[in-house]
Amino acid sequence: MGDAGKESAGAPVPIPVEDALDLHPFRPAETAGVVADYVEAAAAKGLREVRLIHGRGTGVRRAIVRAALARSLYVVSFGDATPDRGGWGATVAVLRAHDPARSED
Protein backbone atom coordinates (compact mmCIF):
# COMPACT_ATOMS: atom_id res chain seq x y z
CA MET A 1 0.00 0.00 0.00
CA GLY A 2 2.80 2.39 0.89
CA ASP A 3 4.65 1.67 -2.38
CA ALA A 4 1.69 2.70 -4.52
CA GLY A 5 1.55 6.07 -2.77
CA LYS A 6 5.23 6.65 -3.48
CA GLU A 7 4.80 5.86 -7.17
CA SER A 8 1.88 8.23 -7.58
CA ALA A 9 3.61 10.97 -5.58
CA GLY A 10 6.38 11.20 -8.20
CA ALA A 11 4.10 10.86 -11.22
CA PRO A 12 3.46 13.92 -13.38
CA VAL A 13 0.22 15.69 -12.61
CA PRO A 14 -1.73 16.88 -15.66
CA ILE A 15 -2.28 20.63 -15.65
CA PRO A 16 -5.29 22.03 -17.52
CA VAL A 17 -4.11 24.49 -20.16
CA GLU A 18 -6.22 27.58 -19.66
CA ASP A 19 -5.45 31.30 -19.77
CA ALA A 20 -4.21 31.38 -16.15
CA LEU A 21 -2.12 29.10 -13.96
CA ASP A 22 -1.88 29.39 -10.18
CA LEU A 23 1.65 28.36 -9.21
CA HIS A 24 1.01 28.21 -5.45
CA PRO A 25 0.52 24.40 -5.40
CA PHE A 26 4.02 23.85 -6.85
CA ARG A 27 7.30 23.86 -4.97
CA PRO A 28 9.72 26.64 -5.98
CA ALA A 29 12.09 24.00 -7.38
CA GLU A 30 9.33 22.85 -9.78
CA THR A 31 8.27 26.31 -10.89
CA ALA A 32 10.63 26.88 -13.84
CA GLY A 33 9.81 23.51 -15.40
CA VAL A 34 6.09 23.94 -14.85
CA VAL A 35 6.16 27.40 -16.44
CA ALA A 36 8.17 26.20 -19.46
CA ASP A 37 5.85 23.24 -20.09
CA TYR A 38 2.71 25.31 -19.51
CA VAL A 39 3.79 28.10 -21.89
CA GLU A 40 4.64 25.61 -24.63
CA ALA A 41 1.30 23.83 -24.20
CA ALA A 42 -0.59 27.14 -24.14
CA ALA A 43 1.09 28.26 -27.36
CA ALA A 44 0.32 24.89 -28.98
CA LYS A 45 -3.31 25.30 -27.94
CA GLY A 46 -3.40 28.70 -29.65
CA LEU A 47 -3.51 30.94 -26.58
CA ARG A 48 -1.86 34.31 -27.17
CA GLU A 49 -1.79 35.50 -23.55
CA VAL A 50 -1.46 33.69 -20.24
CA ARG A 51 -1.41 34.83 -16.62
CA LEU A 52 0.91 33.14 -14.15
CA ILE A 53 -0.12 33.68 -10.54
CA HIS A 54 2.98 33.56 -8.36
CA GLY A 55 1.90 35.69 -5.39
CA ARG A 56 3.46 38.76 -3.84
CA GLY A 57 5.63 37.21 -1.09
CA THR A 58 9.36 37.86 -1.17
CA GLY A 59 9.63 37.83 -4.97
CA VAL A 60 11.54 34.55 -5.28
CA ARG A 61 8.84 32.72 -7.26
CA ARG A 62 8.24 35.84 -9.38
CA ALA A 63 11.94 35.89 -10.31
CA ILE A 64 11.84 32.18 -11.20
CA VAL A 65 8.75 32.71 -13.38
CA ARG A 66 10.28 35.64 -15.21
CA ALA A 67 13.58 33.87 -15.80
CA ALA A 68 11.69 30.91 -17.30
CA LEU A 69 9.63 33.25 -19.50
CA ALA A 70 12.77 35.06 -20.68
CA ARG A 71 14.23 31.71 -21.85
CA SER A 72 11.06 30.57 -23.65
CA LEU A 73 10.92 30.59 -27.43
CA TYR A 74 7.15 31.10 -27.18
CA VAL A 75 7.14 34.34 -25.17
CA VAL A 76 7.05 37.67 -26.99
CA SER A 77 6.84 39.82 -23.85
CA PHE A 78 5.79 39.73 -20.21
CA GLY A 79 5.08 42.06 -17.32
CA ASP A 80 2.97 42.65 -14.23
CA ALA A 81 -0.72 41.93 -14.48
CA THR A 82 -3.13 44.83 -14.20
CA PRO A 83 -4.34 45.52 -10.63
CA ASP A 84 -7.67 43.80 -11.29
CA ARG A 85 -5.81 40.65 -12.48
CA GLY A 86 -3.34 40.34 -9.60
CA GLY A 87 -0.98 43.29 -10.03
CA TRP A 88 2.60 42.41 -9.14
CA GLY A 89 1.38 39.09 -7.72
CA ALA A 90 0.88 37.77 -11.26
CA THR A 91 2.80 37.98 -14.51
CA VAL A 92 1.09 38.19 -17.89
CA ALA A 93 2.96 36.76 -20.87
CA VAL A 94 2.18 37.42 -24.52
CA LEU A 95 2.81 34.31 -26.62
CA ARG A 96 3.77 33.80 -30.24
CA ALA A 97 2.25 31.12 -32.41
CA HIS A 98 3.48 27.60 -31.63
CA ASP A 99 6.08 26.29 -34.09
CA PRO A 100 6.73 22.57 -33.43
CA ALA A 101 10.14 22.85 -35.12
CA ARG A 102 11.32 25.28 -32.42
CA SER A 103 10.71 22.79 -29.59
CA GLU A 104 13.10 20.32 -31.19
CA ASP A 105 16.15 22.63 -31.06
The three-state DSSP-derived secondary structure of 14-47 is CCCCCCEEECCCCCHHHHHHHHHHHHHHHHHHCC
Q: Is it the case that residue 32 has pLDDT exceeding 50?
A: yes
What is the topology classification, in CATH, of domain 17-99?
Ribosomal Protein S8; Chain: A, domain 1 (3.30.1370)
d(CA 92, CA 81): 5
User: Does the global pTM surpass 0.85?
Assistant: no
| Chain segment 41-97, per-residue pLDDT in tens | 999 999 999 999 999 999 999 999 999 999 999 999 999 999 999 999 999 999 997
Q: Is the pLDDT of residue 9 over 90?
A: no
